[in-house]
Structure 1
């Protein structure tokens, strides 16, 4: 078969490599650091593009505070003061946003994930990891969280998350993925972006939602001199929505497709870092501070599960 899966050392870490020999398409996962995808390479024509930006060394990756490629669960983005109320009871999460007093980006970051299974088929290869959440600070619920990564022979890469309430009480759940995307060695000023939205979340000074406002930029939107750190309400008339990152100079388009509909990825954060060498495109199942405002929040009854798929491809 054209696919292979193998392990190798990355400093003191262990990484799993899944690759397709014909195209060279591959991705690399590090289970000890929250099951993150460290590398994703996809081919267009004669060129194999590395489309994710992550810290280049094991130490830098371990110490990263920018959430590069991290899985965000059971909440994503900020919860002000780390406080939320669920079914009439107040909870206090650890305040872990640098220099501030918010809780941010969930409880599975940098955690050691468990290897579950891998499979190789004629047209795809997959690998699955999991992490059990049990009575954590500010989140006293039992939830099994898992992520299944798949590389297809047509060049598609998919991330499928699933969360199952293994406890005896209902629990709140929200998921997001935090990848930084690259297009060759170009700066973001050279790119365009298609954002599947016509409404943007309005933030206060603490980056907490206070409402929405129209987003009416002509699409695709030039990123030249644009500074984005925004949450968008996704608009879709089908069961998915697509964000496109476009380089006209290189004749390539990166497509990030997210499932939409009830309980799925109906929100999207886009962030342009100051270095202007990448763009964070973050599908979310809920709005920022969903644990308090309830916007997009999934409530899992005991024994129930929620899941969703994100697809990355290069054209």
Structure 2
């Protein structure tokens, strides 16, 4: 299926043999989304001089997409980050999901799932594609719950002419029992004119950072939180991060804005998130990536901190009642020089 107007085009495509959806915005911006995992492969937007530049560090081949190194731009359902030993307990019943060769269960279950198209739309300055999949009680050993999952991506232009990529992730409990659900998204940001992140700065409006053990899992209870002065401002040169922040501080518009900025060019990428739906932002400098270490910065809006399935302090908030929905809404804003 293809939708074409005088101003915009949404069409099917392929990426190294993998089916994709391609959104072409009237201002020149372009988004490529794989059906596998509903994973964004590319987001390009024009600079002030019209040059089209890549703003996300996506997979470069189908083999990389299958390998999932770094979970580049992945949709994270039904948990984000780490799950200790792949084990958790709900209503007194212990469950165990599959783990990798390191004994870790990372970033949920759907990074390799096929998402089907539910809707495409062209409206005013926005283009959007909505992709859906389901989770059944027999689909993923260790997660005996039922979910409908939808993710929408929208290309648009802000009020000041900035390029925007909107993401809306929704999980609906279609089963008969409460289901643990913690949503997240894992975009890797890159700014034009920079081959590494070492010349960039990051600003996070947070009042706490999350303390972890040797397995990179948060400490128990309040011991996981260390107060910091907000906003946190870091120069990335020589800085290695795999760090979560919480107690997020919204701006005057009610959104939490984490800003990656180039002092040299003046350009920036801002990840906006709702502080009530997405309580955590996780930063990863990509030092261990197989390809392009430190070429981009992962700025991950997440509903809960890592290992949320095993945290009594969020157990009640984590469970999604039958028929209920949980959302994670985020925007990435590109401000050109």
Shorter-chain TM-score bucket reads: over 0.9
**The one of 194, 200, 206 aligned to 2:209:** 200
How far did 1:273 drift?
Answer: 1.6
Q: Is the 8 A contact 2:245 2:280 kept in 1?
A: yes
Deviation (angstroms), 1:190: 0.4
The Cα of 1:295 is off from its aligned counterpart by 5.2
User: Given the alignment of the two structures, is residue 37 of structure 1 paired with residue 33 of structure 2, yes or no?
Assistant: no
What is the CA-CA distance between 1:293 and the residue it aligns to?
0.6
Q: Distance in 2 between matches of 1:217 and 1:259?
A: 17
Cα displacement (A) at 1:58: 2.3
Aligned to 1:71: 75
Matched, 1:182 2:195: no
Q: Measured at CA, do residues 237 and 58 of structure 1 come closer, stay the same or move farther in structure 2, by a change above 3 Å?
A: closer
- More off after superposition, 113-122 vs 293-302: 293-302
Counterpart in the other structure of 2:325: 305
Alignment of 1:1-315 (within 5 A): 1-21=6-26, 23-31=27-35, 33-46=36-49, 47-96=51-100, 99-135=101-137, 136-154=140-158, 155-186=163-194, 187-210=196-219, 211-216=224-229, 219-237=232-250, 239-261=254-276, 264-274=277-287, 275-294=293-312, 297-315=317-335
Question: Once the 2 structures are TM-superposed, how far is the Cα of residue 81 of structure 1 from its aligned partner?
Answer: 1.0
Q: Normalization by structure 1: what TM-score? A: 0.93
Distance verdict in 2 for CA 1:308–1:194, change over 3 Å: same
Question: Take 1:294 and 1:300, find their aligned partners in 2: how far apart are those partners?
Answer: 15
- The alignment's C-alpha RMSD in Å is 1.6
Distance 1:10 1:51 in 2: 18
- Please give the TM-score of this superposition, normalised by the length of structure 2: 0.87
Query: In structure 1, the residue corresponding to 2:144 is in which secondary structure?
Result: strand
Q: Which runs of 5+ in 2 are unaligned?
A: 1-5, 288-292
Offset at 1:153?
Answer: 3.5
Deviation at 1:176, TM superposition (A): 0.8
Q: What is the Cα deviation at residue 42 of structure 1? A: 2.3
In 1, the alpha carbon distance for the partners of 2:178 and 2:330 equals 26
Within 2, Cα distance between the matches of 1:237 and 1:10?
Answer: 38
> Is the CA contact (8 Å cut-off) linking 1:234 and 1:241 kept in structure 2?
no
SS at match of 1:62: helix
